[in-house]
Structure 1
Amino acid sequence: MSGEEGNRFPGELPPEKRAEDRGRNSGPARSERPEGGGARDDAQGSSPGRPERPAGSAGAEAGRSHARGAAESSAGHGSSQDHEGTAKGTPDSSGDKGDKKAGPARERREASSGAAGQAPGGGTGNGSTGRQRLAQAVWPPRVTRAQLIVALLLFVLGLGLAIQVRSTSENSSLRGARQEDLVRILDELDDRSKRLEGEKQSLERQRTELENSSDQAEEARKQTRQKARQLGVLAGTVGAEGPGIELTVTDPGGSVEADMLLDAVQELRAAGAEAIEVNNVRVVANTYFSDSSGGVSVDGHKISPPYRFQVIGKPKDLEPALNIPGGVVQTLRKEQANASVKPSEKIVVNALRSAKRPDYARSSGQ
């Protein structure tokens, strides 16, 4: 075996055979060379000053290059098949690490996609969670000390305003009164002032007479008798007559109560009534009214409707006091009762009260 034959790879053709094959394939043109070897031969052939290799050695080198390329391609094909088989069978360590790293991210993506898919239908998405958080923030309410103090102050303020409005509405009964009624009330107040002024002047005159009289004892007895008669009228121990009014209250529905009759007495006293009698019962300073079955009791004496008041006083003062807006007559009419006022020049009050010695009060001279 020659040197060239020893350098051939197994299955490689001799140079002569390869030359013949090239001649048959390409003719007189340039011979084909393997991709890497041809470039290397061109470079070597084009370099100046280097002698050309014999044709036999060049063919042997080309054969070796071709064989190496075939072996590398076969080896690469085999390794790719092995790699594919390994990938199809069991993953390698790098694949395991990639899968491990991609696992949590894939799970998060799957969870978010699942939640987004469930939100419209099942109501378990982020919208439902937001409503639940809002409900938890609102209820149960978290009350602080400052909120309690503010609430207490607002409550006190509202209570004060309510009381003020109520008192104002109660005291504004005369706001809707007519001008004639207001003038009448003003005249009544003027008459009261004049009456009190007259009493004051009478007492001053009596004092002057006592001081200037030669017989002071006789004058004192005279004035004492006059004063006793006046006090007897007020106390109900003696009868009285004079101008006044007659008030009659009919109650067909039985709706008149004791406090309504007491209001009538108070209005008459405020208007200057000097003697009052109700159904033959004398009304004095300590008279009381109470409700009873089928009527009203006055000082323990049961009276029934119609209720008749005999009042001695100035008729021009007594009648307007009962007919003012919001007064006794209007109140009784609201209760389905009827009240009529009749002035008279002579009213007789014959009902008497026995004088009662006070248990505790004594005159300052004793």
Structure 2
Amino acid sequence: MSSDEHTETGTGWPQPAGPGRPSGPAGAPDPRPDAPDPDELSPLAPERSAPPVEPPVQEPAVVEPDDGATVELGRAAAGAGASPPAPAVAAGGGGTPRRRVSSAGVMIAALLALLGFTLVVQFKSTSTDPTVAVTRQEDLVRILYDLNSREVRLRQDIATLEESQRQLRSGQQGRQAALEEATRRADELGILAGTLPATGPGLSVRFEAGEKPISASRVLDAVQELRGAGAEAMQISGGDRATVRIIASTFFLDGEGGSLVVDGRRLTGPFTITVIGDPATMRTALNIPGGVVASVTGDGGKLIVEDREAAEVSALHAPIKLEHARPVS
């Protein structure tokens, strides 16, 4: 090969020549459209750094749920390993996030709701009480008067007990006062227990049967009403003059043929209860709407109530022998 066709590389092998630059006047640009810039081909030209490539900006995605709430998702993290921000939920398209309701708030709300429900039920039960609705104004005034009278009696009892306590602590007269107080208490307990006779103002309550016989429940209701009105001593007698003292342990049963069994003793009608106490208070208790008088009248019977200036309760109850109960010392 000739020297103009190859150049020596130092190894004995020829080096092929690269593509030559088209001929033309020196410094003239290459006429080809895709020719590179002459400055780029120059070994003295500085290297140009490629412009930084910015990552594409991800637009926030908007998800519209069925219930009308708008959920706005945060932008995706630019770097690797970055966690995306928590989504913000706003009702009606607003940007305010919903606050979580704590367990304490739920409990307080439940208690308030229960309290309101209780107050509503109490108000309805009070406003729809049939007994109060049908009670006449005169009866209400009388009941109020009876309650005031009972309060006065209780205050008098308190004053008496305080005076007795003062006398018991008064030195020389203490022994005599203690003896008198013990005697008085023994008499009261004897009357309540039915072991002593008693006399005083009161009522005579007579039960007369109608189409239906007088039941034991009606008589027991009358006894309970009289006790609640301040009755201090009572006895019940039948048409055959048999009489039984009524105390706390007295029981009533229905007998055969319209009779009544009181403490195991059979009484025939009509039945009469003799009671000692405040006549006006006890009469009011028997005549309240829906009370004993109304119940007996509703069964076709009759209840006759008469005042007694000196009612006498003479029937006695045998003392109860205690087998198990002992006083506490």
TM-score interval, normalised by the smaller of the two chains:
0.5 to 0.7
Aligned-partner residue type, residue 223 of structure 1: E
Secondary structure of 1:363 counterpart = coil
Structure number with the higher helix fraction is 1
Q: CA deviation at 1:172?
A: 3.0
Q: CA deviation at 1:255?
A: 3.0
Q: What does residue 189 of structure 1 align with?
A: 147
Of 214, 217, 228, the residue aligned with 1:256 is 214
Structure 1 pair 356–277 and aligned structure 2 pair: CA distance change class (3 A): same
Q: CA deviation at 1:216?
A: 2.5
Q: What does residue 166 of structure 2 align with?
A: 208
Secondary structure of 1:343 counterpart = strand
Task: Determine whether 1:180 maps to 2:143.
Answer: no
Of 182, 187, 204, the residue aligned with 1:224 is 182
Which structure has the bigger radius of gyration?
A: 1
Of 316, 323, 327, the residue aligned with 1:352 is 316
Deviations 1:51-72 (A, max 9, x none): xxxxxxxxxxxxxxxxxxxxxx
- 2:217 & 2:122 partners in 1: Cα distance? 25
Q: Is the 8 A contact 2:212 2:299 kept in 1?
A: no
Of 214, 235, 244, the residue aligned with 1:281 is 244
Structure 1 pair 332–275 and aligned structure 2 pair: CA distance change class (3 A): same
Structure 1 pair 166–306 and aligned structure 2 pair: CA distance change class (3 A): farther
Q: TM-score, normalised by structure 2?
A: 0.58
Aligned-partner residue type, residue 181 of structure 1: D
Structure 1 pair 169–261 and aligned structure 2 pair: CA distance change class (3 A): farther
Deviations 1:150-173 (A, max 9, x none): xxxxxxxxxxxxx99997799531
Aligned-partner residue type, residue 348 of structure 1: E
Of 256, 267, 279, the residue aligned with 1:293 is 256
Where in structure 2 are the equivalents of 1:1-366 lying within 5 Å? Answer: 171-279=129-237, 280-294=243-257, 295-365=259-329
Secondary structure of 1:186 counterpart = helix
Deviations 1:201-235 (A, max 9, x none): 21111111000141433321221011101111111
Q: Is the 8 A contact 2:222 2:292 kept in 1?
A: yes
Q: Is the 8 A contact 1:213 1:219 kept in 2?
A: no
Aligned-partner residue type, residue 302 of structure 1: R
Deviations 1:294-341 (A, max 9, x none): 211111111121110101011111111111111110110000010011
Aligned-partner residue type, residue 276 of structure 1: M
- 2:175 & 2:285 partners in 1: Cα distance? 42
Q: CA deviation at 1:244?
A: 0.5
Aligned-partner residue type, residue 279 of structure 2: P
Q: CA deviation at 1:291?
A: 1.3
Secondary structure of 1:182 counterpart = helix
Secondary structure of 1:181 counterpart = helix
Q: CA deviation at 1:190?
A: 1.3
Aligned-partner residue type, residue 309 of structure 2: E
Aligned-partner residue type, residue 214 of structure 1: Q
Q: What does residue 100 of structure 1 align with?
A: none
- 2:128 & 2:197 partners in 1: Cα distance? 39
Secondary structure of 1:290 counterpart = strand
- Structure 1: which 5+ residue stretches go unaligned? 1-162
Deviations 1:62-120 (A, max 9, x none): xxxxxxxxxxxxxxxxxxxxxxxxxxxxxxxxxxxxxxxxxxxxxxxxxxxxxxxxxxx
- 2:124 & 2:212 partners in 1: Cα distance? 30
Deviations 1:127-178 (A, max 9, x none): xxxxxxxxxxxxxxxxxxxxxxxxxxxxxxxxxxxx9999779953121111
Structure 1 pair 164–186 and aligned structure 2 pair: CA distance change class (3 A): closer
- Percent identity for Structure 1 against Structure 2: 38
- 1:347 & 1:194 partners in 2: Cα distance? 23
- 2:254 & 2:185 partners in 1: Cα distance? 36
Q: CA deviation at 1:248?
A: 0.5
- 2:123 & 2:298 partners in 1: Cα distance? 24
Aligned-partner residue type, residue 218 of structure 1: Q
Aligned-partner residue type, residue 270 of structure 2: P
RMSD: 2.3
- 1:269 & 1:339 partners in 2: Cα distance? 18
